[in-house]
A and B are shown apart, each in its own frame.
Chain A
Amino acid sequence: MDTIELQKIASQVRRDIVRMVSAVNSGHPGGSLGCTDFLTVLYFDQMNHNAANFTMNAINEDVFYLSNGHISPVWYSVLARSGYFPAAELGTFRKLSTRLQGHPSTDKNLPGIRMASGSLGQGLSNALGTCQTKKLNGDKSIVYTLHGDGELQEGQIWEAAMYASANKVDNIISTIDYNGRQIDGDVEDVLSLGNLSQKWQAFGWEVLSVDGHNIDELKAILSKARTMTGNGKPIVIIMKTEMGQGVDYMVGSHKWHGVAPNAQQLEIALNQLEETLGDY
């Protein structure tokens, strides 16, 4: 898809995010805004998926797992804007009986979601399982994941990382939201990841990196990663991002990890984000 079009979609997704979290005074805007460009490019330019006829088994479709489930607002918006469910349903986010639970779930059968997430560190394992099933089924599709950088402190991530390279799982493209922030502060201060690129390399992965807010670069790196699948190695893309990207008073601060803007702050945010597809 044309870069201008993708930028327009991303702007609307950002509006959706801040409106969703502000409406219920809860949720996680910071990471959601930081991953908006990536998820927009993934769903509108890269993935082979069928929004109109969602199936749990995803035969011959690419699959995406959101391992850092707390950034559900961006995923819900991108799913709705892709056609998985009506955009109006975004207005039910986090409200009683909604399909748009605080963290993603399959419990209420929201189209687009194949696994609950929220308790961190699990999505890579889930994805590897689907990768192996796709191989058994002779299905050439790709499985994508997204992880927070703080999430990489969970040990299960590294169990899965070890498994993937040892077993040549080469139909996976994982991405890291490398914004350097987590709830208690900078990742570097809370528990440093050290040299993240070298860590993944040491675990046997092909490592790519990208500016997570440059749509052209995102398109190029995801296309390149796709050409690298099927070569016996798992692929990870370290995506440099800013928490809160697109809203000036949120950018780069961990303080907006899990805090919603109030009415006045929402207005300021919306003035910085063009309405392109119509608000829900």
Chain B
Amino acid sequence: MIEIEVLGNKDTRSGFGEGLLEVGKKNKDVVALCADLTGSLKMDAFQKECSDRFFQVGIAEANMIGMAAGMTVGGKIPYTGTFANFSTGRVYDQIRQAIAYSKKNVKICASHAGLTLGEDGATHQILEDIGMMKMLPNMTVIVPCDFNQTKQATIAIADHKGPVYLRFGRPVMPIFVKPDAQFVIGKADTIIEGSDVTIIACGHLVWKSIEAAKVLEAQGISVELINMHTIKPLDKEAILKSVAKTRCVVTAEEHMINGGLGDSVAQVLIQNDLVPQEFVGVNDSFGESGTPMELMTKYGIDTQNVVDAALKVIQRKK
């Protein structure tokens, strides 16, 4: 019987806000920059308590990214904060040249990622950011699954020397990672152990996959669920160890199927242990206005989609 204790309900962006405050108090080299979204990113507490190290840049994301890169010269650890769309697509060239290529110790913290930004619609719902960021050499890409993990990741990345993309979101979701859990970059968490199918998920789809695992369990199917919070560097060992047992994989993410977590997992499987894989993600489409949960259903990244993909992939291995 799958038992995952729900510890509460919160948005992952609030985990970022709490983590930033904590790491900022602990490490005086941490500085934060924001492009006119301090409230949305929950950076208010840091702004108030570490005011000399908070930099409001206005609606000028290119300048924010460029400044963050420059702030590392002299030893600071800049955290930039804006929506995921404006953290990546709008400033890709700035990130590419001044952060990734220049190997600067900048933490690009991106909120409101994916469809679950909701009513603002497709202009703001970026579904390509994981792909863009994972393609950049030197970039570490992290997509934590809940409030606690986002907080832990926010704190952990200060100790990782090098560029990091940290992706989180807006909706209130269940909290199930223990508050004292250790976050290790590049080391996946196996949340449920099982034998019939491996589900590898990141971000909000980890909770959806927990729900799916329960549905599948009721049908007599044993799911192994891996929370792949680090997309790059990818924990290949965890993937291969699990598929050795289950012989099939479902990947689940709030992102385009093209260029996301699923692609990265598929590369590992093709080169090492070719087992069937099904992809839960958005299929080459922009989003639209709607509530987060309505959008997840309409665009095929809901609990039922994970269930269906698991049943299909189990059939394929026979």
Contact = CB atoms under 8 A, between A and B. Distances in A.
A57 B73 contact: yes
Nearest to A121: B62
A125 B65 contact: yes
B52 A122 contact: no
B74 interface: yes
Contacts of B67: 125-126, 128-129, 132, 160, 163
B126 interface: no
A136 B53 contact: yes
Contacts of A58: 73-74
Interface in B82-114: 93-94, 96-98, 101-104
Contacts, number: 122
A63 interface: yes
A63 B72 CA distance: 13
Given A106-B103, A129-B68, A130-B71, A118 B97 contact: yes
A43 to B, nearest CB: 18
Given A107-B103, A116-B101, A132 B73 contact: no
A3 to B, nearest CB: 32
A160 B102 contact: no
B58 A162 contact: yes
Nearest to B62: A156
Interface in B287-301: none
Nearest to A126: B70
B31 interface: yes
A126 B53 CA distance: 17
Given A122-B97, A122-B98, A129 B78 contact: yes
Interface of B: 31, 52-53, 55, 57-58, 60, 62-76, 78, 93-94, 96-98, 101-104
20 contacts: A106-B103, A107-B103, A114-B73, A118-B97, A121-B62, A122-B98, A125-B65, A128-B66, A128-B67, A129-B68, A129-B69, A132-B55, A133-B72, A133-B73, A133-B75, A156-B94, A159-B62, A160-B67, A163-B60, A163-B63
Given A122-B62, A132-B55, 18 more contacts: A59-B75, A107-B101, A115-B69, A122-B97, A125-B64, A126-B70, A128-B66, A128-B70, A129-B72, A129-B73, A129-B78, A132-B31, A133-B75, A136-B31, A155-B62, A156-B60, A160-B66, A160-B67
